[in-house]
Amino acid sequence: MSTPNNSKNKAQKSLRHYGEYSDFVAWTALPTELRVPKTQRELAKKFGVGEDTLSEWKRRDGFWDEIAEKRKAWGRERTPDVMLALFKRIQRTGSAPEVRLWLEVVEGWQSKVLAMPDPYAYLRDLTDEELELRKQAALAALNRG
C-alpha cells in the first residue's frame, strides 16, 4: 500500500512503505507466539524490504508509542475472556490475590494503606549533642534498672 500524495500526515509522507510500516507496528505489538510470520527476517522478505528497514522503523520517533497503543487495543478486546478465566479460577481456588484482583478490576475496590506514625520522628529534629545527652540518659536508666 502506498501513501497518497495528498496525505496531511507527515509521518505517512516520510515513509515509502507506510502500509507495511503499519502492518509491522501491528505485528510487533502481538505476543511473539501469535506473530505470523514468526521472525522479523521473514516479515521483511514478505514486505519486500530489507531487514535493516524494519530495524530503522523501530528507531522512528513514536514507534514504541504506537506499539503500546496497539498492545492496549489488543488486550482490551480480550479483557472479557481474561475476566472469565479469572472468575473460573476464583471459583476453583478462591485464592486471596485473585479475589482481590477481581474486586479491584470489576468493582473498582482499592485497598487502604494505613500510614503509621513514625515513633522516632521527633529524634530527627534533635542536634547531635541533644541525641548524645538522650543516649547517655537512656544508658544510665538501663544501668540503674
> What's the CA gap between 96 and 102, in Å, rounded?
10
Q: Confirm whether 17 is domain-assigned.
A: yes
The mean pLDDT of 12-27, rounded to a whole number, is 86
Residue 100 is predicted with a pLDDT of 85
Arithmetic mean of pLDDT, 44-57: 96
Answer whether residue 12 shows pLDDT above 70: no
Among 96, 88, 13, 21, CA closest to 56:
21
Boundaries of domain holding 49: 1-60
Does 108 fall in a domain?
no
Under 8 Å between Cβ of 51 and 61: no
Whether the per-residue pLDDT at 2 is higher than 70: the answer is no
**CA 58/CA 25 separation, integer angstroms:** 9
Q: Per mean pLDDT, which range of 70-74, 110-114, 139-143 is the poorest?
A: 110-114
Domain annotation covers residue 99: no
Q: Is residue 11 part of a domain?
A: yes
**42 assigned to some structural domain:** yes
Structural domain contains residue 40: yes
Q: Within 13 Å and on the Cβ side, how many CA atoms surround 119?
A: 0
Within-domain flag for 123: no
Q: What is the pTM of this model?
A: 0.56
Cis peptide before 37 (omega within 30 of 0): yes
Q: Domains in the chain: how many in total? A: 1
Does the pLDDT at position 13 exceed 90?
no
Mean pLDDT of 51-66: 96
Question: What's the pLDDT at 115?
Answer: 82
Q: Is residue 110 part of a domain?
A: no
Asked if 29 and 67 count as a contact pair (C-beta separation under 8 A), the reply is yes
Where does residue 127 fall: left (phi above 0), alpha (psi -120 to 50 degrees), or beta otherwise? beta
